[in-house]
Structure 1
Amino acid sequence: MNKWHEKDLDYIALGDSLTVGTGVPFWQQGFAERYLVESRRVLCRPVRFYKFAKNGATAGEILEISKSPCVEKAIREADIITITAGGNDLIRAARLFLQTKEIGILNKALKECTVNISALLTHIDALIAECEGPYIIRMINLYNPFSGTPQADSGVQKFNQHINSFSSYKNVKVADIYSVFKGREKELLSEDGIHPNARGYSLMEKTVSALGYSPLA
């Protein structure tokens, strides 16, 4: 048995308002806190928790967050990483698209988002490669906060095609939140119509946890 099996595990939650937990009161748990509890239960190990997230952050801004020295240090030691990214890229582009009907706005945002998430995963992999031991990365695809607009749903699905493709990266799995939320947006979103409520965050956690913890467990 090597030293990895003897140490406490580190969980890094990286992302936007979905990682912050926006949409529920401060005394309720968001997605990341719920996933932390489940990780401790499943792995039967102490798990330290570090959250680096910002409301409104785009994929490019999350990439920049990951490059700060304190975040890089945490990533090097990480065993579990969750990433929520792309939602704000989509929302900003969708709002402009609904005003202008210019499909190029969505395509440009999609390209930039894909490039930035790819760079983020490459950066994380390079940092973790400096240390020994297994690790997992869990990503979440996008639900549609504009469910009454067919064009917006088409845009969400295009974004998700690219986000889902990141499951080909080393140790990465993508949770299909889109399918969980589809048709249930009124039930699962908070009063702002954008962020999940407590039930929504609970289902996010369950969907991510269902991906398993291999090779950690």
Structure 2
Amino acid sequence: MKILKYFLTLTLFLGVGATAWIYYPQYQIHKMKNEATEVGKDTSRETYLDYYRQSNKKDIQHLAIGDSIIHGFGVDETENLVYKFSDQLGQVINKTVHYTNKGKNGMTSTELNEMIKAGLLDDAIRKSDIITVNIGGNDVLKTAKKQDYYGAVKSFDSLQATFTKNLGEISSKIKEINPDATIVFLELYNPLPADHQFSELADSLLPKWNVNIYEVAHQIPASIVVQTTKVINSDNPQNLSPDGVHPNSNGYTAITAQILKQFSREYRKEAV
């Protein structure tokens, strides 16, 4: 009986632990999302759209840095995310939004951090009003290619720690150079179809990765995390290119719409 009792207690403990490991990051993300979306309760605060619409600047400067999602892999320039967001934001706020696309195919968070530390983007950062950052996907993909998906899962905690450190340093450097800029982060999404053998595992790991983006953004007053996972997922295969990884033109349109939706609903917090 003692052995059975011990076994049941251990099973319960492991079950609770596994549930917390999977669902607590989702709870954290949900909580931080709610903190950012209470528009209408305090009319003295400005949404991101109101802020740029009412700005004294006639032109807005948009810098985009990161990987192939920023670069616009697989689509023409006028179909990529940076162009579409800049163009549509300009139409909404009735201003010209100039963009600089510094996305590079295959870039990892370590490579972007090294570029920022080397000062290669200092001038562009200093001139920008909005800085969009998408990075981290290649941290996982390159590990998976070198090993396999099982190897990437085994390395998950290490990859996550390195990514979080890099993103924190990238964000801190941006705010040091330009404390007035808005930083727009994008969630990492799961491009795998629902019937893929690793799809459920990826869905369970994704919140653990993305919560780090939210926690970094939480430390930056004027920052926003775009809920990319709402529009790029197994329920929306029409938003993915044939390679099964990158968004297609429809996907970039959907992400742009999601950014503008959040710009219209979330408050822009100034540094204290």
TM-score of the pair, normalised by structure 2: 0.69
Question: What letter corresponds to residue 11 of structure 1 in structure 2?
Answer: H
- Please state whether the residue corresponding to 1:137 is helix, strand or coil: strand
Question: Which runs of at least 4 in structure 1 moved beyond 4 Å after TM superposition?
Answer: 213-216
After TM superposition, give the deviation of residue 189 of structure 1 in Å: 0.8
Counterpart pick for 2:162 among 97, 112, 115 = 112
Query: Residues of 2 paired with 1:172 and 1:124: CA distance?
Result: 11
Hey, what does 2:80 align to over in structure 1? 30
For residues 185 and 56 of structure 1, do their structure 2 counterparts lie closer, same or farther at Cα, with a shift above 3 Å needed? Answer: farther
Counterpart pick for 1:48 among 98, 101, 104 = 98
Query: Residues of 2 paired with 1:176 and 1:70: CA distance?
Result: 29
Hey, what does 1:81 align to over in structure 2? 131
What residue ranges of structure 1 are gaps of 5+ in the alignment? none
For residues 81 and 201 of structure 1, do their structure 2 counterparts lie closer, same or farther at Cα, with a shift above 3 Å needed? Answer: same
CA contact (8 A) 2:68 2:105 kept: yes
How many corresponding residue pairs?
Answer: 207
Query: Residues of 2 paired with 1:185 and 1:36: CA distance?
Result: 24
For residues 45 and 28 of structure 1, do their structure 2 counterparts lie closer, same or farther at Cα, with a shift above 3 Å needed? Answer: closer
Query: Residues of 2 paired with 1:198 and 1:53: CA distance?
Result: 17
Greater C-alpha Rg = 2
Question: What letter corresponds to residue 163 of structure 2 in structure 1?
Answer: C
Hey, what does 2:66 align to over in structure 1? 15
Report matched runs for 1:1-217 at 5 Å: 5-24=56-75, 26=76, 28-95=78-145, 96-100=147-151, 103-129=153-179, 134-147=180-193, 148=196, 149=198, 150-168=200-218, 169-212=220-263
**Bigger CA drift: 154-163 or 118-127?**
154-163
After TM superposition, give the deviation of residue 48 of structure 1 in Å: 2.1
After TM superposition, give the deviation of residue 199 of structure 1 in Å: 0.7
**Bigger CA drift: 6-15 or 114-123?**
6-15
Query: Residues of 2 paired with 1:191 and 1:6: CA distance?
Result: 41
After TM superposition, give the deviation of residue 5 of structure 1 in Å: 1.4
CA contact (8 A) 1:72 1:127 kept: yes
Query: Residues of 2 paired with 1:6 and 1:28: CA distance?
Result: 25
What residue ranges of structure 2 are gaps of 5+ in the alignment? 1-54
After TM superposition, give the deviation of residue 97 of structure 1 in Å: 5.0
**Bigger CA drift: 137-146 or 175-184?**
175-184
Aligned residues with identical type, % of pairs = 27
After TM superposition, give the deviation of residue 212 of structure 1 in Å: 1.2
**Bigger CA drift: 178-187 or 10-19?**
178-187
Query: Residues of 2 paired with 1:121 and 1:82: CA distance?
Result: 11
Two-structure CA RMSD over aligned residues (Å): 2.2
After TM superposition, give the deviation of residue 185 of structure 1 in Å: 4.7
Give per-residue Cα distances to partners, 1:3-22, cap 9 Å, x unaligned: x7145321101110000001
Give per-residue Cα distances to partners, 1:136-172, cap 9 Å, x unaligned: 1111101112342122222222211212223312211
For residues 183 and 146 of structure 1, do their structure 2 counterparts lie closer, same or farther at Cα, with a shift above 3 Å needed? Answer: closer
Question: What letter corresponds to residue 34 of structure 1 in structure 2?
Answer: K
CA contact (8 A) 1:166 1:172 kept: no
Query: Residues of 2 paired with 1:165 and 1:107: CA distance?
Result: 16
